[in-house]
């Protein structure tokens, strides 16, 4: 047996060192280097794996114009929303990582997908956390067809790949990457070295055998994927399923995709028979109250490759504290503070004595800047206690000097709002369509003062 060696690995970027040190020299993170023992150094194993990978693929030097540009033969998962997040479907030979909070519906979604795919292709579901009886009980509760799906309860990566070579499946689900292990890595399953080496081995197997592999990943207490950061680098697609246990809606968001757009969003509803896709997400996020109230407006955000209409609510209330509160749900709190300063400087509205609360309805997390103008108008509506028109939609980025900057895909956003019955829009002046949209009054503004005058 090879003599045990000691290696020091950064849990964030996977860099290796001969001795322990406080800061990683590559990613500059502190206190992320941990020790593990192995019979063969990780660098040697990676070199051997790369040599075997290159030899199996018989790589040759080619010119760029001689490479075949035929479209990759994707196949559908059976869910249009899932296919959208993946960039149009599953690519054979790709490795996909899907993560989420406990109880978010990762195993339920994948079991539904595999049962549907098993009707037309050879599919293998590998479980390391649950017994086969537990999965059979869930499938029975969800009323899924179970006569075609192949099941395997195993945690050894080598055994899983050996069985897969015999079964010749087109797609494999491994639930989860934190419980599988390799025999030649002397550490517990879920450790940095086990997760890294297991994911690398599984990814190489997917490329060599042209089989799509979906791996389930756990998350840490702060919501990020557990394991080393190199785990997300070696896979082709990373998807996060988001949603709280008190909400019936779940969202799939693509954080990384080598075969499609990132930040693509898919919406599902959790029901008694599993996850059902929501093909018109704007309709569920626009379920507004019948009684109109101040502090509410509708904005159009861009998620991946499509527009999405979302209601934003704001509340400004006189503060009894010396330091007024600033609370935002679904939006960046630092950006809220910046927009309040812009409102004071260029809108002549003082809210330093007001508690400000902002909420994006439906649990959607907005990361783009097109929500700036809608947020400010909702705050003015609440502060002045005046109701904004129900047929109004707003979007636009607000700059530090009070200017309204254009946002991408402005015309598509306006067209989406018109489809849902909105007849008036306040947008950046540069986003006003050259050809008028029937039934839609578009007001172009270039400064924050112009937008305040328009309402």
Statement to judge: residues 84 and 27 lie in one domain? no
Q: Is residue 318 part of a domain?
A: yes
Quick check: is 230 in a domain? yes
Q: Which of 261, 279, 297 finishes a domain?
A: 279
> Is the CB of residue 95 less than 8 Å from the CB of residue 204?
no
Within 10 A of 260 (CB to CB), how many other CB atoms are there?
19
φ, ψ for residue 117 (rounded to 5)?
A: -70, -30
Query: Per the domain annotation, does 222 fall within a domain?
Result: yes
pLDDT at 38: 55
Neighbours of 419 (CB within 10 A): 12
Mean pLDDT, the chain, integer: 86
299 and 265 share one domain: no
What is the domain range of residue 152? 75-279
Same domain, 272 and 302: no
Q: Do 263 and 119 sit in the same domain of this protein?
A: yes
User: Which of residues 255, 279, 303 is at a domain's end?
Assistant: 279
**Nearest 10 degrees: CA dihedral of 344, 347, 353, 359?**
-100
**Confidence at 59, pLDDT banded by 50, 70, 90:** low
How many domains, the chain?
Answer: 3
Q: Out of 156-160, 307-311, 362-366, 373-377, which region has the weakest mean confidence (pLDDT)?
A: 362-366
Q: What is the arithmetic mean of pLDDT over 364-374? A: 90
Give the tens place of pLDDT for each residue, 69-104: 666 689 999 999 999 999 989 999 999 999 988 888
Same domain, 107 and 14: no
- Give residue 43's region: left, alpha or beta (phi > 0; psi -120 to 50): alpha
Q: In this structure, are 87 and 228 located in the same domain?
A: yes
- Considering the entire predicted model, what is its pTM? 0.75
Pair 211, 299 in one domain: no
Residue 52 lies in a domain: no
> How many CB atoms within 10 Å of residue 336?
19
Same-domain status, 259 and 383: no
Q: For residue 311, tell me if it sits in a domain.
A: yes
The pLDDT score that the predictor gives to residue 50 is: 41
Q: How confident is the model at residue 7 (pLDDT cuts 50, 70, 90)?
A: confident
- Say whether both 299 and 382 belong to one domain: yes
CATH code for the domain of 212 = 3.40.50.300
pLDDT tens-digit readout, 273-325: 899 998 888 877 776 666 678 999 999 999 878 899 999 999 999 988 888 99
Residue 423 burial (C-beta neighbours within 10 Å; 0-12, 13-18, 19+): middle
> pLDDT tens digits for 235-279?
999 999 987 666 788 889 888 999 888 888 888 988 888 999 988
pLDDT in tens, 14-24: 778 888 888 88
**Domain endpoint, select from 258, 279, 300:** 279
């Amino acid at each position: 047996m090879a003599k045990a060696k000691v290696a020091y690995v950064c849990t964030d970027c996977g860099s290796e060192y001969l001795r322990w040190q406080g800061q990683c020299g590559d990613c500059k993170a502190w206190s992320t280097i941990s020790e593990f023992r192995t019979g063969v150094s990780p660098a040697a194993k990676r070199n051997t794996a790369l040599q075997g990978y290159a030899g199996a693929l018989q790589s040759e030097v080619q010119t760029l114009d001689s490479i075949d540009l035929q479209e990759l033969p994707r196949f559908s998962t059976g869910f249009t929303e899932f296919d959208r997040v993946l960039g149009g479907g599953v690519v054979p030979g790709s490795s996909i990582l899907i993560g989420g909070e406990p109880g978010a519906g990762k195993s339920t979604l994948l079991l539904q997908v595999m049962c549907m795919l098993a009707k037309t292709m050879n599919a293998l579901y590998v479980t390391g956390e649950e017994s086969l009886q537990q999965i059979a009980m869930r499938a029975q509760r969800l009323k899924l067809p179970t006569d075609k799906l192949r099941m395997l309860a195993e945690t050894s990566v080598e055994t899983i790949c050996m069985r897969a070579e015999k079964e010749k499946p087109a797609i494999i689900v491994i639930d989860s990457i934190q419980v599988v292990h390799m025999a030649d890595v002397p550490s517990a399953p879920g450790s940095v070295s086990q997760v890294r080496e297991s994911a690398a081995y599984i990814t190489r197997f997917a490329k060599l055998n042209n089989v799509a592999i979906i791996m389930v990943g756990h998350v840490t207490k702060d919501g990020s994927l557990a394991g080393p950061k190199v785990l997300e680098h070696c896979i082709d697609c990373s998807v996060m399923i988001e949603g709280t246990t008190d909400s019936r809606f779940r969202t799939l968001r693509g954080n990384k995709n080598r075969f499609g757009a990132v930040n693509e969003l898919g919406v599902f509803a959790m029901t008694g028979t599993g996850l059902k896709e929501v093909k018109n997400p704007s309709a569920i996020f626009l379920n507004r109250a019948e009684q109109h109230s101040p502090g509410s407006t509708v904005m159009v955000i861009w998620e991946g490759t499509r527009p999405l209409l979302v209601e934003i609510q704001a509340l400004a209330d006189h503060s009894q504290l010396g330091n007024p509160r600033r609370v935002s749900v679904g939006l960046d709190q630092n950006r809220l503070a910046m927009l309040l300063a812009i409102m004071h400087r260029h809108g002549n509205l003082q809210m330093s004595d007001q508690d400000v609360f902002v909420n994006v309805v439906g649990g959607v997390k907005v990361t783009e800047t097109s929500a700036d103008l809608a947020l400010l108008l909702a705050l003015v509506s609440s502060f002045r206690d005046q109701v904004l028109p129900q047929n109004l939609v707003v979007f636009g980025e607000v700059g530090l000097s009070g200017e309204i900057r254009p946002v991408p895909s402005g015309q598509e956003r306006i067209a989406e709002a018109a489809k849902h019955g909105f007849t008036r829009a306040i947008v950046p002046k540069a986003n006003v369509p050259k050809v008028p949209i029937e039934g839609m009054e578009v007001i172009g503004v270039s400064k924050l003062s112009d937008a305040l005058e328009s309402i």
